Amino acid sequence: GEAVPAAQRGSWSSFLKSIASFSGDLSSLTAPPFILSPTSLTEFPAYWCERPDLFSAIADAKDPQARALAILRWFISTLKDQYTSRNELMGSEKKPLNPALGELFYAHWPDRNGRGQINLLVEQVSHHPPVTAYVIENKVKGVQLVGHNAQKTSFSSGSIIVKQIGHAVLTVGKEEYVITLPKLRIDGLWYGSPYVELTDTTYIIGGGFISTIEYKGKGYFTGKSHTFKATVAPLPGMGGSSQEHVVEGLWHEKSKFTKGPFQGDVFHDVETTSKENATVIGGEVDGSQGAFETRKLWNLVAKGIREGDYELASREKSRIENEQRQRRKDEAAAGTKWELKHFKHEDSDPLYERLGRLAKITPSEEDFYGFLVNWPEALTKPAGNDK
Ligand code: 0T9
């Protein structure tokens, strides 16, 4: 492990051993300090919208085929932020903070050049296993993304394999699209510098079209990291005579149309779309955030991790975990259950099942967290007034 600080080599190798002999919920394993991230998983849904212009542009497409391409372009643009941004920011993939049940994250992207304000709301809807539900909405443009995600992890030939559970539903006006999530392989563990490679296939299904996105990594002899190939085709019996498009390239850099009417044209280039971090509502230290808002909840743990004060980090982490355990005990004793604040859990999602059948997606059924449409006031006030 070249990237592992000398003093942490022993704890890194015992951590790797515990991963290897363990499958299920990795979030509960204790990892050495150098690999800890100061950010909770409840902040991750923001990655869906760090190219806010592309999210809003979905609403401007003139016909169903153009819309399918605009959705694919936005989706591809999120992958770099979702899966490589920790490497850019912190040098490698890091272990995120394991969210508490009921943990919240509220943020927005302000209106710019008429694209409309975009709001983000996240709630941790399960602790064990960790499940995160989110909604991202541009009300002016009529574009909304509602989804939830969880992970199932296993270990195979030196890598962590992460199967993502959950899906997202994108609504554009009255049209609904189901989005499935890629499988991850976490490589580079041996050297102490983990990074994510995407594998397998994901789908975006709706509006008369189906986009099939296949992910490939470096492989043994040929091929580059972060490669994908996407096909956009009319759904059987729905798209009339429209032509198929194929797009190929690197999801963290550039891709081109390789088949169809736009063959040879650039499809997406990360360099030409600007990245914008979400503006987080309220201050974590000035008291305007609630106790369950992620930055306030984890404030001292994050400070400890950032400043190398691991004693502070671990003391505060234990305090939060003990408080959570006590809450669960009190609920059990009182015969009550924690109530979700913004979502209603459903055992199935008819839209996912109906559209998923067209792509034969597995699993064929999944639960759903419906948004209760109760945005906090800080997000519904006009932009610019929120602080
Ligand atoms: C949803 C995303 C997800 C969450 C993270 C697997 C992972 C937790 C889940 C899937 C987002 O939309 C996209 C990106 C990265 C995913 C994380 C990468 C990662 O390593 C962690 C897991 C739980 C670990 O922390 C493994 C141990 C660690 C030492 C490796 C760095």
Task: Kindly write down the DSSP assignment for every residue of 252-284, as one continuous string.
Answer: TSEEEEEESTTTTSEEEEGGGS---PPEESS-S
At 89-108, the pLDDT tens digits run 999 999 999 999 999 999 99
Residue 172 token pair? 């554009």
Q: Check residue 19 and report its DSSP letter.
A: H
CA 161–ligand 1 middle distance (angstroms):
10
> Quick count: other Cβ atoms within 10 Å of Cβ 108?
23
Cα 215 from Cα 224, distance rounded (Å): 11
Model confidence over 293-347: pLDDT tens digits?
A: 999 999 999 999 999 999 999 999 999 999 999 999 999 999 999 999 999 999 9
Q: Which atom of ligand 1 is nearest to the CA of 83?
A: 14
Closest atom of ligand 1 to 94 CA is 31
* For ligand 1, atom 13: residue with the closest CA: 82
Distance between CA atoms of residues 140 and 151, nearest Å: 33
Mutation pick for ligand 1 pocket among 184, 190, 226 (CB with most ligand atoms within 8 Å): 184
Output phi, psi for 372, to 5 deg: -85, 0
State in Å: Cα 96 to ligand 1 middle. Answer: 7
DSSP label at 79? H
CA pair distance 276, 50, nearest whole angstrom: 5
Q: What's the CA dihedral at 66, 71, 75, 76 to 10 degrees? A: 0
- Residue type (1 letter), 223: G
pTM comes to 0.96
Tokens 């067209």 sit on residue: 358
pLDDT for 281: 85
Q: Averaged over 229-239, what is the pLDDT? A: 86
Rounded CA separation 291/74 (Å): 33
Label residues 247-257 b or e (16+ Cβ within 10 Å = b).
bbbbbbeebbb
∠ CA 370-372-376, nearest 5°, is 130
Atom of ligand 1 nearest to the CA of 27: 23
- pLDDT tens, position by position, 252-308: 999 999 999 999 999 999 999 989 999 998 877 666 889 999 999 999 999 999 999
Q: Note the pLDDT of residue 220.
A: 57
CA distance 64 to 208: 7
Candidate from 136, 183, 186, 197 with most ligand 1 atoms within 8 A of CB, to mutate? 186
Average the pLDDT over each of 11-20, 202-211, 219-228, 367-376 and give the range with the smallest value.
Answer: 219-228
Residues with CB under 6 A from ligand 1: 26-27, 31, 35, 41, 44, 47, 82-83, 93-96, 149, 151, 160, 162, 164, 184, 186, 194, 196
